[in-house]
Every structure is written in C-alpha cells, then in structure tokens.
C-alpha cells in the first residue's frame, strides 16, 4: 500500500485525504502551517503530523507527495518535492501567476514537469471523461465546435475577489485545461469578453462575473467558454462537442432518477448535483488512482505541470484580451501581453 | 375573409400559400416572373394569376400583399407595395445588402417601415416564442447570457455560396433578429470568428461554414451565436437564455415521444424535427395570423422592415469583424465598415 | 378529389370534417338529426345539407361515407351505408353493446365487416404508430410485456356515467384495440380490477374510475392496461412494449421543447399535449388519408368492424371479470358472461 | 465507533463489510462456515475471525450483529442473535419459507421482531427514498396507482431455479416490501400471472420468468408489479406512484450525464446503472447508517422482521394465485393457501 505525505489540511487537503483513502492508498503523514488543522485531520485518519513540509516529504513512510496548500505556495513546494525524487501530485493551479508557473518549469525542467501530476480533477469526472473518450475515439468525427459552460452556484465573498487573480485565472482555468485536453492541440487566438452584471461591486474591484471566451484552433475548430459566478439552479457544468459526424454533450448529472409530474411540474427532474464536492467528489479519488497507476508504471503524468503552465498562459491571454478589447494571437507561454 | 396577393410561387411562395390557407385567409391572386410556376400554384389553390407584380398588388380582391420572390427583388417590391397603401408582409431578408436595406427605409420612411411585416418566422416557433415570453415575463430575472445555436443539416450547393452574401448575411441573419427580439435592446459590439472546416472549397469561395459571434449589450449581457452549415443529426436549433433567477432552454422538438431502449440504445429518443418546413412549418401560419390581426387592429407590425434593417446591419458588422479580425463597436445602421 | 358524405355534425363530426379537409378530400354533403348543426358546419365548409342520412349517403357527389353520429346509431347506419356499396368509415365504437356489435357483423357479413374502416384513431398517433412499427419490425425481439397507460385529465360529468357503458366499454376500449393491434394475436384470459377512488359517487352509480386489467396472450406475453379518469398533469397516454431484445416507450409528447431551470424547477419541460384534440388531432387526418388510400387501392381496411367487435368483446369480458372478481378465460366473441 | 460482528463472508458478507466501513463503523469480527472466506475478508479489513457464529456474536468488541449468511440459516441466526441482546441487522429474506418466517416471529416475539433490522436495502436507494418521501409528504395527494417494474439484466443459472423458491419469493420479494413501504397499509387481494417466455426450461423446472401481480388496498388503491428475469438494456428498476394531485416517477439513474447525437443516436443518454451493486451499492451503506442511528437512539427498526414476514406472506399468496389461477383474498400472515 503506497504511503502518502499530504501537505495542506484545509478544505482541499481534506478532499485529498478522503480521496487517498478511497483510492486504497495510505495517508502516512500530514503537514499544515496551521498545526492544529494538521493534528485534527491526522487524528481522524490515523496519520502522523510533520513539523515542516520538508519533514513530511522526507518521511520514510511517504512514497509520494500530495500538495494541497494555498495556491501561492505551490511552486516552491513542487520544486522542493521534485528534489526529493518522490512522485508529486499538486492541486491546481500550478502557480498563482504566469510568471511563477514559468519559473517552476524553468527550475525543474521540462522532463520533470511532465512527471508532476497536476490536479485538474474535472478531467476525471465520469461524464466529462466519457465525452473526451467519445471525441478522441472518433464518435463525432472531426471536432468543429466546443462549448464549455461553467457556472458557480453563488459568487465568492467580495473580500476574495482582489486576491483571486480574476475570473479567468481563478475560475476559467479549469475550462482552459479542459479545452486543451479535448482538442489535443494548442490555440492560435483568444478573444475574451466579460462584464460585472451580477454584482457591480465586483466590477469596482476590477473583476468581472460573467465571461465569454472564443479560442480558435489551428485547424479552424472554434472553442467557446461561458462562465458565470452565480447560477440559480446550482452548479451548471456542461460540455458540448460538435463535429462532422455528430455531437456529444456532457450534461449536468442529477441527484437521483426522480421526476415529478403535477400541474405546475409536468415532469420536473431531481435537482442537479450540488457544488463541486457532490459533482466532482468522485473525480478526486479517480485522480489519485490514476496518479498511483502512473507512479507504479513509471509513466509520464497524463496531466502535468506543463499543462498547468499552458492553462495559466491561456488565462493570462484571456485577461489581456478582455482588458485590452482585442483578439490576442497566441505565440507560446513566453508571450508577454503588456499591462494586464 | 381577407384576400391576399402573393408575389412569388417558388419554394417560399408555396410555403406562404399553405400558411395563408392554414391561417384561414384567401389566396386571391398570384404573380411569379416564371408564369408556369404561378399557374401551377394557382391551379392547385384555386387562385387567379396576374401578369405583373403591379397587377397582383392592384387586384381588387387583394386586401394585402405577401412578397416571397427572390431576395434581390424584395426592396423594390416592398417600395411598390407600400405605395399601393395595402398591408405588406415581406419574407426575410428585407434586402440582399445593407445598402439596399437602408435605401428601402429611406424611401418608404420610418413610419411606413414599421407597418411592413418582415417574415422572421422563427420568432413564432412555439418553443422559441415560449422562451421569449418567459424571458420577458421575468421568469429568469435579468438576462445575463444568451446562446443561440443554429446548425443546418447539410451545406448549400457550392454554386449558391458566391451569391449567398456569406454565412452571416444568409444564415445567421435569423439569429441576429432572434437576439434582438429576446434582448429588446441594441448591442454595443460584435466580434465574429469563422472557419471553413466542413469544406475547404467554401473557404476558397471566400465564405465560412462554421461561425461564432459574441455581442455585448449595453447592460453587460453577453450574446453568443453559433452556426454550422452541416449537422449530422439534423436541424439543430436551440436557444439558451440564462439570467439572475435561472435559465430557459428552447430545445429541439422531437418527431414523437418514442424512446428506444436496447443494449446499444439505452433510451434513444425519436429524431429531432427535420429541416425547416418540419421544424418551423407551423410558425409560417402563426406569422400570417399575427399579420392579419395587426392589419385588422391597425397596429404597428411587431417585426417589421426596421428590424430587417437592424438584422442586416448586424450581419454586415459581423462580416466585417470576421474579415478584419477585430471587435466592431456598433454605432448604428448608418455605420460604414470599410472593405467587407 | 374524393367527395365525402358526413353523418353527424357534433363534436366528432366537426373533428372528421377538419380531418377530411386536412387529408385533401372534399366534404360534399352533411347530415345531422339536429338540422341547424348540419347547416352551421356546412356553411363553414361550403358543403350541402341532406335532409336524411339516406339522402346524404345516396348523394351523387359522395364517393364515401363517414359516420360520426352518436354511438347508439352506429350499427344501423353502418348496415345502411354498406348497402349503398360505398366505402364506409365509422367512428369508434362500432356499437354501444357487444350484442349490437355482433348483430352488425352478422348482418353485413364477415367480408363486408373487413371493408368498414373503424375509427380507432390512436393507432395513427405518430408516437404510438412508431412503437407499433418498432415492435412489428423486430426491434425489441419477442414481445414479453405490454403496458398501456391511459389517464384522462378529468372525470366525465356524473350525468354521463350511467349511460357510458362503464369505464371498460367507454374509455378502455381504445386500449383493448391498441393491445390487439400491437400483439396481432388474440388473448386467452382477462382479469380486471377497479375502484372508485377518485369520486365515490361514481361508485354509487355502479362504475369505477381507476382500473387495471391484465391479459395473457397464448404465447405467454402479459398485457397490463391502467386507466384513471383524472390526471392532475393532463392527458397521460403512454405505451411501453418490452421484449427479449429491449423496450420501446411511446411517451407523452410535449407542447414544445422548452425547459425551465430555476431553484424550484431544475429542468422542468413544457407541459404535455392537452386533451385528445391536441394529442390525437393529427391522427384523425392520418386516419382519413389511410382510409382514402385503401379505397383507392381496393384494400381491406387495416382496422375494421371486426376489430370493433373484438374490442367490444374484451371490454365486455373485463366488465364481467371486475364485477365477478375472477379471471375470465376467453373463448371468442360469442362468449356469454352471465350478469354484467 | 460501534464494533460489528459479521456473519457471512460471501458476496453479501462482502457487500456489508464495505457498507460497515463506509458508514464509519468498525468491523470487529467475522464468521463464515467456510473459514478461508472469513480469513480472506478479515485480512483485507483488519478484523478478527471467529470459529463459530456464537463466538462472533459473543465477541466483546461486537456491539451489534450483521447476518449475511445463506438465506436458509437466517431464522436460526436471528433467534440466536436476539438472545445475545445485541442489535441485529439481517440481510433479506428473513426466511426461506413463510413457515420459517412465522416460526422466527413466534420464537422471538412481536416486540423483539420490531427490533431486528431487515435488510430491504432498496428502501434506501436515493431515487426510491425520494419517491417515498414525496408520496408520504403529500406531493401527489392520495395514492391511486402504484406501478413497480423490476427487471434483471439476465436470468439466474438454471441450477439455481429449483432452490430459489420461485420468482415471487426470490425476486419480487423486494417489490412486495416496497409496495408496503410506500402504501403503509396492508392489501386485501393479490392476483398473480406469470409465464416462462424467456426460457421454456425455466417453465419445465416449475418456475416462471415474467410476472405481473395486481394488489388491491383497502382504500381502492391499485398496485401493479412487473418482473422479468432478463432485460436487454440492463437492470430496469422503476417505480411510478400516481395520485389525485400528480405523479412521481423513480426512473433508472444513468452512468453519467453524457448524451450522444448522431444520425443513428439522436440524443442517446449514457447507459443506466448496471446490476445491483452499481445501482443499489450506496443503499447498503445508508442502511447500515440508519441501523446505527436506531441503535444509538434505542428506536424500533423502521424495516424489521415483521416486514420480512409480511413480504414472505405476499410472496406466498402470489405464488398460490399464479398456480391456482385465481385472486387470493388476504386475511393475514397465518393464512394457508393449500398446495403451492
């Protein structure tokens, strides 16, 4: 049974702790800068607490490292973890800025970057993964249009907005990765539009709460991403892939198969799955299982730090496009965008 | 029983002939430049044939005029029909170019323009009309995102492409009108992307076969229109309106309520309604009924030549945006776009 | 254009008048015992009025006869119409009692009975007809279970109950015919259960308002029919056919493709089609078209007076089973059931 | 953390072992007559192995007992477990015959019977439980019709048929319990029909593979249960509850929200959940959690040995009805049915 060191015992740390157990691995040691948080989680699981991240990574019972601390610490911990030579899974995002993401790859090198699993867990959602398999398996022929819709149930606290990096980096980052995972090619242009129609206060803080992004692939495929920070009917997460031979749609799964038929409800289905732990909960365990398989087989990670860099790059380009009111032609992750 | 003069006995003329009968009006007289076409239709219906359009419009039994000739004749016939003082319904588009549409309005004047019914029949589709009523009735609160998807079953003949005016003017014109009808405000910007991914030959002819358009409304609402010239599963016509209090979706209706459950088909529904006469057939009769009601009540037409001008203007702007690779800021239907 | 004589200008007469026109035939002459009713309909359509049924049937412009008078007159009019030698379509039921149905067949003879079209219009509903085609085409292999659900939006007026013949003869008669049309074999037993749970007054009048019938076919297939006289969400009309290779389901069609997503309505579809004219309206025109085709080709009618007799026989057997609390083993339409 | 003794380490023992862990309890000790089976499971979980059932039940770390041995041992183990005074959960069925079920209740007494949790796990399926809550909460008014459909993906091995007790006792037993749980009243009559249409060999072994049962409740509500031993599209498990104010439907949940749109698949959803562990897996953990709650609160078990007796009684009555070709009027679980 593989032993794991877990860095971070906050919300995402707890998600990964549960996923590690569900995947049949052993959570050996936990570190969190807030020691009582580490202790509480360790007590519940039956794990050790390490006084520093370095101690946790170095622990003899830790065969692999999972990083689930705050986003701004990811890069330094990834670099440190890579140096231990142990396999590393880092929760998304790779970095809190594109500059930091570049520094991470530059420091560890391209080869090592491809060995760091980056936790874009939505890739492992059953519906989204089935859609991806259908597209890659040729079920819809050549992909012509991809539409990704991500709407959160409610906006983040206003206090969070200024340090979030903005909607494109904070929320749409998942969708940039998903678009890349489905298309398996890079994009030639990004055009972003946004507005703060939900809450003008978000606009005053320099951010947006509704956004639409169009990306063109080299072969002419058109990607549309729609985000909203609030959705009255829950966590709206859909993907539509349209191609020469048809379409696949990953629709919102439902809490159950119940349908209600009354005068006012002539066939109302059960609510969609609630926020991310209900919708994407299983995908974290699937992610850990895939990570362990790749470790066992010595494989390159199918979603890795390089993907983290590319998602950060697209988020940066979208931010620039939206601010500058123009289409950005993409040249690669070293591209500079002026003032964003 | 209102008597109608029908100009045009081709495909759209026949559609309107059937709609006139279904709406309980009388088709009195028919004109078509190809006299045998007029004669064949007149014989089937029991109507007269007029030797010229002017004769048809002037016929004593014609209380109103329906124009369903080729697009390039619409403007002159509208002008002529308006001069007779009889109520006019003109099949879309108002004109085959923005310049011509401007000329039409300039000639007949704004007041008369609002009395010419323009046949954007999709407004009267049962699903789309219910969506519009739900949005205007406040069911989804404030509209934040509107997504219109229009995909034809198969591309037009290549020979048609050069004289079609291009995808934005020929196909997306319906969607521009629908967006205006749903939002009830004008737009501040248009950004269009397109590619000829279905058939490179279409690209060589200077047109596109896949397109995505983003329009911003003054209040921050974001409209996305997706078009494709080919769709393997039929005539894909959907609208999604998302707002502060929820979403309404006008999905493709089905040929029946049949569902098939086998190992390979675990719940496959009946096919969606086929090409436009099956999907939108009823909407033509609804359009004629509404036209007759407005005539009877002396009302302004709810969709009129002014709307035809505005749709042509958006199509022109989208064409310019796509060709010039930039967002177009909209100033009004007199705006010039340079080389398009 | 085939000319038709229509007997009956009441509700069903008007339905058939519209269907005759929609099918492209000509309604030549109308008879109704209430002459003003005939005159009103005739004026609307542009038809003649005949002073007697015999005159209508004998009219030189009547190539065929449609009977849509009250149920208790059907048998005598069918006999009279058959004697004219003209093709006959009779609205269901064939007779208001099994004895009368037997008398009809005995009088006209088996051969003529197969030439009288009996108006079980639901056979021509698009969804139900597709289901039947799928079953007969082998899509679900060997049929093992058939479940027919028919629920009316609201119960009939209490005054109608005593002269209705009871639920099995008045309402379930459609479902008995549908079961026969789908199975294409006769049944070996009928077991019926019923209760008056909607309105005890219906029970006091000797009838029921909820019923369940089980019929066994010779090959072991099991048919279940469920009826209710009231349904809060509308006219619930579904058929489920289950077989060795899968299942087909004819579900209630919807008024449109609209779906609503709000906190309370997380995906509520449009209401189902309302009462029978909205749900089954098209099927009357399809029925007339099929009748005219069979007349033109000199074919036996695919649903005929013999089918009317068999449906009446099953309704009688179900009535007996429910009253006597026992399974009835079926021997043929001459079978007597004692006191029912 | 409550410690559990588990009797039985076969398929159902393993299901309960997983459910115990998922429910956050501790599996302390395992017994199985096949010692290596007990040892293998114990090793995987980290539990002790007891040499006899009595030792397992008496174990100091066992606060409660879960019985998951073969059906014919349930009664004696329940009696023995009740004598230890520890809370007991017994996998369904309570007994392999009605006589044995009666003996169980007679031996332990009515009061104790209500303290033995009987594992009718489908009550805890999310969809079915929501339907039950909707019915009991008054959402559909007064219940008038209940239709339960249970179809297995494939028939049992022929060798199993003779010792299965027959379809009503082996398969429909779940549905009898579900009907009681939803109606919360006993039934006045049972009428059963069956046939061996899937495999005549099953008929030659004296059993059936397709069945339909109708039960009447005292208030006139009509219950229909449909079973089939084979279903081409998977594990078809649906419940429809129809009442004075509407209907609720617990439909088959899907493997994901994926929908496929191609020429042949115009909207095909993902397959339904596979056999019982995928469909009902979560319900076993929910069952254990509820059991533990009732233990903690000293409550009567919401589904108990008395319910096990009543389900066995209805299965016996249905078997008699089917064999004897008559409606059985129900008088209570002591009723004798003659030769069944």
User: For residue D216, what is the nearest residue in chain C, using CA coordinates?
Assistant: C193
Q: Indicate the residue of A247, A250, A270 with minimum beta-carbon distance to D130.
A: A270
Please check whether residues B70 and B90 belong to one and the same domain: yes
Residue in this structure with the two tokens 């995505």, named with its chain if needed? B212
Measured in whole angstroms, the distance separating CA A120 from the mean position of its chain's CA atoms is 3
Q: Which residues of chain C have pLDDT under 50?
A: none
The answer to whether C266 contacts chain A (CB < 8 Å) is yes
Summarize the confidence of residues D69-92 as an average pLDDT.
Answer: 96
Q: Indicate the residue of B141, B144, B211 with minimum beta-carbon distance to A210.
A: B144
How far, in Å, CA of C91 to CA of C73, rounded? 11
How far, in Å, CA of B227 to CA of B201, rounded? 18
The answer to whether B142 contacts chain C (CB < 8 Å) is no
> Is there a domain that residue D337 lies in?
no
Give me the interface pTM, i.e. the ipTM. Answer: 0.95
CA distance A226 to chain B (A): 9
> Is there a domain that residue D41 lies in?
yes
Contact yes or no for D249 and A265 at CB 8 A: no
β-pairing verdict for B26-31 and B48-49: parallel
Predicted pLDDT at A282: 87
Q: Is the pLDDT of residue D44 over 90?
A: no
Q: Indicate the residue of A139, A246, A256 with minimum beta-carbon distance to D253.
A: A256
Tokens of B305: 């030549």
How far, in Å, CA of B170 to CA of B159, rounded? 14
* Contact (Cβ atoms closer than 8 angstroms) between residue A28 and residue A3: yes
Please check whether residues B13 and B48 belong to one and the same domain: yes
Could you please report the per-residue DSSP string of B81-102? HHHHTS-EEEESPS-SSHHHHH
Residue numbers in C near D145 (CB within 8 A): 210, 212, 226, 228
How far, in Å, CA of A211 to CA of A314, rounded? 14
Q: At what angle do helices D173-183 and D305-324 cross, to 10 degrees?
A: 120
> Is there a domain that residue C336 lies in?
no
> Is there a domain that residue A16 lies in?
yes
The domain spanning residue A216 has which CATH number? 3.30.360.10
Please check whether residues B152 and B116 belong to one and the same domain: no
As a whole-number percent, the residues of chain A with pLDDT over 90 amount to 91
CA distance D125 to chain A (A): 9
Residue numbers in D near C140 (CB within 8 A): 232
Q: Per-residue pLDDT for chain B (340 aa), expressed as one digit of tens each?
A: 789 999 999 999 999 998 998 888 899 999 999 999 999 999 988 899 999 999 999 999 999 999 999 999 999 999 999 999 999 999 999 998 999 999 999 999 999 999 999 999 999 999 999 999 999 999 999 999 999 999 999 999 999 999 899 999 999 999 999 999 999 998 999 999 999 999 999 999 999 999 999 999 999 999 999 999 999 999 999 999 999 999 999 999 999 999 999 999 999 999 999 877 788 888 999 999 999 999 999 999 999 999 999 999 999 999 999 999 999 999 999 999 987 7
pLDDT (tens digit per residue) in D276-320: 778 888 899 999 999 999 999 999 999 999 999 999 999 999 999
Q: Is the pLDDT of residue D23 over 90?
A: no
Summarize the confidence of residues D84-89 as an average pLDDT.
Answer: 97
Predicted pLDDT at D338: 84
- Containing structural domain, residue C117: 3-121+282-303
Counting the structural domains of chain A, the total is 2
Contact yes or no for B232 and D265 at CB 8 A: no
Query: pLDDT class for A304, splitting at 50, 70, 90?
Result: very high
CA distance C230 to chain B (A): 21
> Is there a domain that residue C299 lies in?
yes
How far, in Å, CA of B207 to CA of B197, rounded? 11
The answer to whether D222 contacts chain C (CB < 8 Å) is yes
Residue numbers in D near A261 (CB within 8 A): 246-249
* Contact (Cβ atoms closer than 8 angstroms) between residue A335 and residue A313: yes
Strand partners, B223: B146, B215
B268: left (phi over 0), alpha (psi -120 to 50) or beta: beta
Could you please report the per-residue DSSP string of B11-41? HHHHHHHHHHHHTT-EEEEEE-SSHHHHHHH
C338: left (phi over 0), alpha (psi -120 to 50) or beta: left
User: Average pLDDT of chain A?
Assistant: 95
Identify the residue with better confidence: C44 or A125. A125
Q: Is the pLDDT of residue D121 over 80?
A: yes
Please check whether residues D71 and D91 belong to one and the same domain: yes
Predicted pLDDT at A274: 84
Predicted pLDDT at A46: 83
Contact yes or no for A269 and C272 at CB 8 A: no
Contact yes or no for D254 and A255 at CB 8 A: no
Residue numbers in B near A246 (CB within 8 A): 232-233
The domain spanning residue A28 has which CATH number? 3.40.50.720
How far, in Å, CA of C313 to CA of C177, rounded? 10
How far, in Å, CA of D65 to CA of D82, rounded? 9
Buried/exposed C221-254: b ≥16 CB within 10 Å, e otherwise: bbbbbbbbbbbbbbbbbbbbbbbeebbbbbbbbb
Q: Indicate the residue of B145, B189, B211 with minimum beta-carbon distance to A228.
A: B145
Angle at A275 between CA A273 and CA A278, to 5 degrees: 55
Please check whether residues D195 and D107 belong to one and the same domain: no
How far, in Å, CA of A142 to CA of B199, rounded? 12
Predicted pLDDT at B288: 95
Residue numbers in C near B248 (CB within 8 A): 258-261
| Element spanning B200, H or E | helix B200-204
Residue numbers in A near D260 (CB within 8 A): 134, 139, 246-249
Residue numbers in A near B190 (CB within 8 A): none
Predicted pLDDT at C10: 94
The answer to whether B210 contacts chain A (CB < 8 Å) is yes
The answer to whether D259 contacts chain B (CB < 8 Å) is no
Contact yes or no for C271 and A266 at CB 8 A: yes
Query: pLDDT class for D46, splitting at 50, 70, 90?
Result: confident
How far, in Å, CA of B37 to CA of C90, rounded? 40
Contact yes or no for D266 and B269 at CB 8 A: yes
Residue numbers in B near C258 (CB within 8 A): 127, 130-131, 134, 248-251
Neighbours of A (≥3 Cβ pairs closer than 8 A)?
B, C, D
Contact yes or no for B272 and D266 at CB 8 A: yes
Please check whether residues C111 and C229 belong to one and the same domain: no
Please check whether residues D63 and D169 belong to one and the same domain: no
Closest by Cα among C59, C77, C80 to C67: C77
Residue numbers in D near C233 (CB within 8 A): 246-247
Query: pLDDT class for D145, splitting at 50, 70, 90?
Result: very high
The answer to whether D244 contacts chain C (CB < 8 Å) is yes
Q: Is the pLDDT of residue A276 over 80?
A: no
Predicted pLDDT at D30: 97
Across the A/C interface, how many CB contacts are shorter than 8 Å? 41
Q: Is the pLDDT of residue D34 over 90?
A: yes
CA distance C281 to chain D (A): 25
User: For residue B133, what is the nearest residue in chain C, using CA coordinates?
Assistant: C258
CA distances from B265 to A56, A289, D232 (A): 51, 31, 10
> Is there a domain that residue A334 lies in?
no
Contact yes or no for B214 and A193 at CB 8 A: yes
Across the C/D interface, how many CB contacts are shorter than 8 Å? 107
Contact yes or no for B271 and D270 at CB 8 A: no
Please check whether residues A129 and A174 belong to one and the same domain: yes
> Is there a domain that residue B336 lies in?
no
Angle at B161 between CA B158 and CA B167, to 5 degrees: 130
| Element spanning D291, H or E | helix D276-297
The answer to whether A275 contacts chain C (CB < 8 Å) is no
Q: Is the pLDDT of residue D154 over 90?
A: yes
Q: Is the pLDDT of residue A196 over 80?
A: yes
Neighbours of C (≥3 Cβ pairs closer than 8 A)?
A, B, D
Predicted pLDDT at B300: 94
pLDDT (tens digit per residue) in A213-250: 999 999 999 999 999 999 999 999 999 999 999 999 99
Please check whether residues D224 and D288 belong to one and the same domain: no
CA-based radius of gyration for chain B: 20
The answer to whether A44 contacts chain D (CB < 8 Å) is no
Q: Indicate the residue of C144, C191, C226 with minimum beta-carbon distance to D145.
A: C226
Summarize the confidence of residues D174-191 as an average pLDDT.
Answer: 97
> Is there a domain that residue D339 lies in?
no
Residue numbers in B near A236 (CB within 8 A): 247
Please check whether residues B164 and B115 belong to one and the same domain: no
Secondary structure, 3-state, chain A: CCEEEEECCCHHHHHHHHHHHHCCCEEEEEECCCHHHHHHHHHHHCCEECCCHHHHHHCCCCCEEEECCCHHHHHHHHHHHHHHCCCEEEECCCCCCHHHHHHHHHHHCHHHHCCEEEECHHHHCHHHHHHHHHHHCCCCCCEEEEEEEEECCCCCCHHHHHHCCCHHHHCCHHHHHHHHHHHCCCEEEEEEEEECCCCHHHHHCCCCCEEEEEEEECCCCEEEEEEECCCCCCCEEEEEEEECCEEEEECCCECCCEEEECCCCEEEECCECCCHHHHHHHHHHHHHHHHHHHHHHCCCCCCEHHHHHHHHHHHHHHHHHHHHCCCEECCCCCCCCCCC
User: For residue D254, what is the nearest residue in chain B, using CA coordinates?
Assistant: B266
Query: In this structure, is the dihedral angle defined by the CA atoms of residues B137, B140, B145 and B151, taken in order, positive or negative?
Result: negative
How far, in Å, CA of D314 to CA of D328, rounded? 10
| Element spanning C177, H or E | helix C173-183
Please check whether residues A118 and A131 belong to one and the same domain: no
User: For residue C199, what is the nearest residue in chain D, using CA coordinates?
Assistant: D244
Residue numbers in B near A245 (CB within 8 A): 232
pLDDT (tens digit per residue) in A199-217: 999 999 999 999 999 999 9
How far, in Å, CA of A178 to CA of A125, rounded? 11
Strand order in the sheet with C210-217: B266-269, B258-261, C246-250, C236-243, C143-151, C222-228, C210-217, C187-195, C328-329
Closest by Cα among D7, D8, D94 to D58: D7
Please check whether residues D142 and D78 belong to one and the same domain: no
């Amino acid at each position: 049974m593989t032993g794991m060191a877990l860095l971070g015992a906050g919300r995402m740390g707890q998600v990964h702790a549960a996923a590690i157990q569900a995947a049949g691995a052993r959570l050996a040691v936990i570190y969190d800068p807030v020691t009582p948080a580490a202790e509480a989680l360790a007590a519940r699981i039956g794990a050790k607490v390490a006084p520093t991240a370095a101690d946790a990574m170095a622990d003899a019972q830790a065969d692999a490292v999972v990083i689930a601390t705050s986003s701004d610490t990811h890069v330094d911990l990834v670099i440190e973890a890579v140096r231990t030579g142990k396999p590393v899974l880092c929760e998304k995002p790779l970095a809190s800025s594109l500059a930091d993401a570049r520094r991470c790859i530059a420091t560890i090198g391209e080869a090592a970057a491809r060995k760091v699993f980056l936790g874009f867990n939505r890739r492992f959602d059953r519906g989204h993964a089935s859609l991806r398999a259908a597209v890659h398996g040729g079920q819809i022929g050549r992909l012509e249009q991809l539409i990704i819709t991500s709407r959160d149930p409610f906006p983040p606290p206003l206090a969070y907005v200024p340090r979030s990096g903005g909607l494109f980096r904070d929320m749409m980052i998942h969708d940039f990765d998903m678009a890349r995972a489905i298309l398996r090619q890079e994009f030639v242009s990004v055009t972003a539009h946004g507005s703060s129609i939900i809450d003008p206060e978000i606009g005053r803080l320099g951010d947006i709460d509704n956004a639409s992004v169009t990306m063109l692939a080299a072969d002419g495929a058109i990607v549309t991403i729609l985000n909203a920070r609030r959705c009255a009917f829950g966590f709206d997460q859909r993907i539509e892939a349209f191609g020469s031979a048809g379409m696949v749609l990953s629709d919102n799964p439902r809490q159950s198969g119940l349908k209600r038929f009354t005068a006012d409800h002539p066939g109302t289905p059960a609510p969609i799955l609630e926020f991310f732990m209900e919708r994407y909960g299983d995908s974290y365990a699937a992610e850990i299982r895939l990570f362990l398989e790749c470790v066992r087989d010595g494989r390159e990670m199918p979603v890795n730090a390089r993907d983290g860099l590319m998602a950060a790059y697209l988020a940066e380009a979208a931010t620039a496009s939206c601010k500058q009111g123009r289409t950005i032609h993409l040249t690669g992750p070293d591209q500079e965008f002026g003032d964003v």
